Amino acid sequence: MTLPVADNWFEAKKIDADTTLIIEPHIHVLEQANMFLVEGSERDMILDTGMGVIPFKPYLNTLRKDPGKEIICVSSHTHIDHIGAVHEFDIRLVHPAEADEMANPSGLNSLFRRDMPEALLATFQASGYPPIGETLIEALPFEGYDPESYRLVGAPATGLLNHGDTVDLGNHLYEVLHLPGHSPGGIGLFERATGTLFAADAIYDGPLIYEGPGMSVADYRKTFDLLKAMPVTIVHGGHDPSFDRGRMLEIIAHYEPLWEAV
């Protein structure tokens, strides 16, 4: 296997005055999760931490106005592409339903296609994702990197987030929404003052994954009912570009009929 060496492993884009979107562009699109840095007046927040192929926090600190400010790491759920660098942070928050999994990851722990269950691969392709090559990475982070050396570390939570809790950054106050379906402890963060929803993998503008370990269509239906009732204006999903309320309702309207017989 020969892979090119990436010029930059991470890519960042400002989406508003306080919010930066970060991705790992050389990860296969299936596992290329959105990470969101929100810089608050009192503390900062990083929502999700990617795959953890290389250290993340040193890069993240280059983006922060004040790298010495307290930073909260919130994990929307505990799939491999969302908790890769969680162990690099001192404050680690997650829903209680997935705290054990974050502390001791038991799912996919490899960059190789060979280590992914065939049934799961079939689900991904049936959902509309392109085939995965030999590895989940499409470049090396640096010369000499050995993909065989990759391990998802995980870390115990230092605090738990339940539905109705808040994450307070000073000038940004986020309500925690429990959004199961894609995972049992999936959460979103909603800023009522602006209508901004960080929805993670509960809804994004790409193929949703709802059949697999820990997933539940019945729970997903309830999550969509909740989202339809929320005064959402903009959605930042766990993958793919952000979208408005109209697009959110279109996505929901696409999936709900598919689940009628499930």
Domain ranges of the chain: 11-258
Average of pLDDT values for 19-28?
98
Q: What is the pLDDT of residues 193-218, one digit of tens each?
A: 999 999 999 999 999 999 989 999 99
- Angle value at C-alpha 124, between 121 and 129, nearest 5 degrees: 125
User: Residue 34 in contact with residue 46, Cβ under 8 Å?
Assistant: no
Residue 126 pLDDT level (bands cut at 50, 70, 90): confident
CA–CA separation, 202 and 220 (whole Å): 8
Q: Hey, what amino acid is at 144? A: G
Q: Collect all residues with Cβ–Cβ distance below 8 Å to 244 and sequence separation of at least 6.
A: 233, 234, 235
Residue 158 has which token pair? 């230092």
Say if strands 159-160 and 243-244 run parallel, antiparallel, or are unpaired: unpaired
- Six token digits for residue 262: 């499930």
Residue 222, classed as helix, strand or coil, is: helix
- Residue 152 pLDDT: 96
| pLDDT of amino acid 121 | 87
**What is the model's pLDDT at position 1?**
67
Tokens of 217: 């269509």
Answer whether 171's CB lies under 8 Å from 44's CB: no
Residue 229 has pLDDT above 70, yes or no: yes
**Cα–Cα dist 195/149, whole Å:** 42
In terms of CATH, what superfamily is 11-258? Answer: Ribonuclease Z/Hydroxyacylglutathione hydrolase-like (3.60.15.10)
What's residue 262's pLDDT?
66
Whole-number Å distance between alpha carbons of 241 and 41: 26
The residue behind tokens 């991470």 is 10
Least confident range of 120-134, 154-168, 182-196: 120-134
Q: The tokens of 86 are what? A: 């969680």
